[in-house]
Structure 1
């Protein structure tokens, strides 16, 4: 098994008023010349957790961080008007919490962060601030969620 030190949360950047299944995710990533979904897990709006890539396989979700990370994506992240937004349902929030807590049992020293938190610290102050984000993903502050064991 590969060494895991990071769990990265993403959104699919799809509209909350439209479905985007794990099959749609697979097709989307294959069209981008990837070998299937780049995330290890995908959480649907109804809270279903789909395994989309084996944990043993390096992900394709966060350039420069894939080798030692697990990628989790939730369906949504864009409002009905097409703007970045925290569109997680109650079920997605619950499933995300359960999944991360479960992963932290097997990988207790992992850091949990959002994809946007891996943006470069352009001003060198040690904090990735909103104006430095390359992407809005995952449209909520992962560090403020309660994922402790």
Structure 2
């Protein structure tokens, strides 16, 4: 098993109020460039749907493809949403069910990997993702 030192939170950068699935994200990630990323699988290890259900993506045992330079020792968690209805403006679109599921999932991951720290993708890249400040949510960071 990989040594996990970070749990990194992402958004799918999709419009508020619209549902997307692991399979759709997998398709985006595996479609060859220039239309997709050209990866071998979905980049995230977990995806949280708008209804709060948590779905597996890439197996945790495998290195993800979600945060350049930090994939080897991290787990990527993505919630569906992250943009205003126009699909362009970053916005924290987490539903109450997604917020609760994210807190539960991260708590479970921190139990499994007690040395891990929790971060937003925006801490490692010039992006708005996950469209909120993870460090300002102590219930997510295990504090």
Report the RMSD for the aligned CA atoms in angstroms: 1.0
Q: How many residues align?
A: 135
Q: Which has the larger Rg?
A: 1
User: Which digits, 9 at most, give the CA deviation of each residue in 1:4-46, with x for residues without a partner?
Assistant: 0000000000001322111111111111211121000000000
In structure 2, the residue corresponding to 1:96 is in which secondary structure? helix
Is 1:144 the counterpart of 2:141 in the alignment? no
Displacement of 1:81 after TM fit? 2.6
Task: Give every structure 1 segment of 4 or more consecutive aligned residues whose post-TM-superposition deviation is greater than 4 Å.
Answer: none
Displacement of 1:118 after TM fit? 1.1
Is 1:100 the counterpart of 2:106 in the alignment? yes
Match of 1:39 in 2: 44
Match of 2:91 among 85, 89, 109: 85
Structure 1 regions of 5+ residues with no counterpart?
Answer: 120-133
Match of 1:29 in 2: 29
TM-score in terms of structure 1 length: 0.87
Match of 1:117 in 2: 123
Match of 2:58 in 1: 53
Structure 2 regions of 5+ residues with no counterpart?
Answer: 32-36
Match of 1:63 in 2: 68
TM-score in terms of structure 2 length: 0.91
Take 1:110 and 1:138, find their aligned partners in 2: how far apart are those partners? 19
